[in-house]
């Protein structure tokens, strides 16, 4: 089982969008997929509730909630035995203790980032915290960036990509800015499940992401340049 957490302390950067679309993409490829939601806003769980029973299934767990009475935490958190991908959605403003726990329990951290000055800089702080406080290196957790709401050849995207090169963390997928994501979210679907004419453009992003995950990624937790620049 590959454990993937979608994290960024910055709100609204696309954590739930990435978690739910990746979950639906993996499920549609025929893989047993589970989706944990650690966010009290329960957006991923709400997405799952909208998903029609005929769609390729995603097993959901409201990980933020205490187990129902008479149920142990481990039973509450169990996933089907054949689960191939366990995808976790996390809240904005994750505390440092929670962050360390999450890093210890995950193989890959996907970090969505928007092409804006504020988001770029708060993401850099978050990545430093992951490496220094979350001890991503010690746990051998792989980090990867997903740029979200990108429009090709805008100056903001160019700036974002230049900045990300300095972090030495691979950009493994670029997600288009399109209302398809909003429409899909309402129906508990991934954007690739919509019958839109240009859906193949979005499909490429998710296929690239899954390819990278399946290839085992790169060992980029050990980023000397980032550690040298780290302020704490």
Ligand X SMILES: Nc1ncnc2c1ncn2[C@@H]1O[C@H](COP(=O)(O)OP(=O)(O)OP(=O)(O)O)[C@@H](O)[C@H]1O
For binding to Mg ion (CB under 5 A), which residues are involved?
15-16, 43
> Interface with ligand X includes 181 (CB under 6 A)?
yes
> Interface with ligand X includes 190 (CB under 6 A)?
no
Nearer to ligand X, 59 or 201 (CB): 201
Place of tokens 């505390």: 95
> Interface with ligand X includes 95 (CB under 6 A)?
no
**Of the candidates 85, 204, 209, the residue with the CA atom closest to the CA atom of residue 146:** 209
CA angle in degrees (0–180, nearest 5) for 171-177-179: 145
Concatenated DSSP letters for 92-110? Answer: TT--HHHHHHHHHT-SEEE
Q: Of Mg ion, ligand X, none, which one does residue 34 interact with (CB within 5 to 8 Å by kind)?
A: none
Long-range interactions of 68-75: CB distance < 8 A, separation 24+ = none
Residue 149: half-sphere exposure toward Cβ, Cα within 13 Å: 14
Query: Looking at 1, 12, 97, 183, which residue binds ligand X (CB under 6 A)?
Result: 12
Q: Of Mg ion, ligand X, none, which one does residue 178 interact with (CB within 5 to 8 Å by kind)?
A: ligand X
Query: Looking at 3, 128, 137, 149, which residue binds ligand X (CB under 6 A)?
Result: 149
Nearer to ligand X, 46 or 59 (CB): 46
> Interface with ligand X includes 34 (CB under 6 A)?
no
CA 208 to CA 176: how far, in whole Å? Answer: 13
Nearer to Mg ion, 16 or 88 (CB): 16
CA 2 to CA 84: how far, in whole Å? Answer: 6
CA 150 to CA 144: how far, in whole Å? Answer: 16
Nearer to ligand X, 43 or 223 (CB): 43
Taking CB under 6 A as the binding criterion, the range among 10-18, 99-107, 120-128, 210-218 that sits at the site for ligand X is 10-18
CA 219 to CA 88: how far, in whole Å? Answer: 21
Least separation in angstroms between CB 151 and ligand X: 10
> Interface with ligand X includes 185 (CB under 6 A)?
yes
- Contact residues for ligand X, defined by CB under 6 A: 11-17, 39, 43, 92, 148-149, 175-178, 181-182, 185
């Amino acid at each position: 089982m590959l454990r993937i957490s979608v994290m960024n302390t910055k709100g609204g950067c696309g954590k739930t969008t990435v978690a739910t679309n990746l979950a639906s993409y993996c499920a549609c490829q025929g893989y047993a997929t589970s989706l944990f939601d650690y966010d009290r806003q329960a957006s991923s769980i709400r997405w799952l509730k909208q998903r029609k029973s005929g769609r390729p299934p995603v097993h959901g767990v409201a990980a933020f909630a205490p187990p129902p009475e008479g149920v142990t935490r481990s039973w509450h958190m169990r996933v089907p035995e054949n689960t191939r991908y366990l995808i976790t959605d996390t809240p904005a403003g994750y505390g440092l203790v929670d962050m360390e726990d999450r890093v210890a329990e995950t193989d890959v951290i996907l970090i969505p980032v928007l092409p804006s000055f504020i988001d770029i800089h708060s993401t850099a702080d978050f990545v430093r915290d992951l490496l220094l406080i979350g001890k991503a290196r010690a746990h051998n957790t792989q980090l990867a960036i997903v740029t979200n709401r990108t429009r090709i050849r805008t100056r903001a995207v160019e700036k974002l990509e230049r900045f990300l090169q300095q972090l030495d963390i691979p950009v493994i997928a670029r997600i288009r800015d399109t209302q398809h994501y909003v429409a899909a979210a309402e129906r508990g679907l991934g954007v690739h499940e919509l019958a839109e004419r240009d859906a193949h453009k979005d499909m490429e992003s998710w296929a690239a992401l899954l390819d990278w995950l399946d290839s085992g990624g790169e060992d980029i937790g050990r980023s000397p340049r980032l550690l040298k620049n780290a302020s704490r």
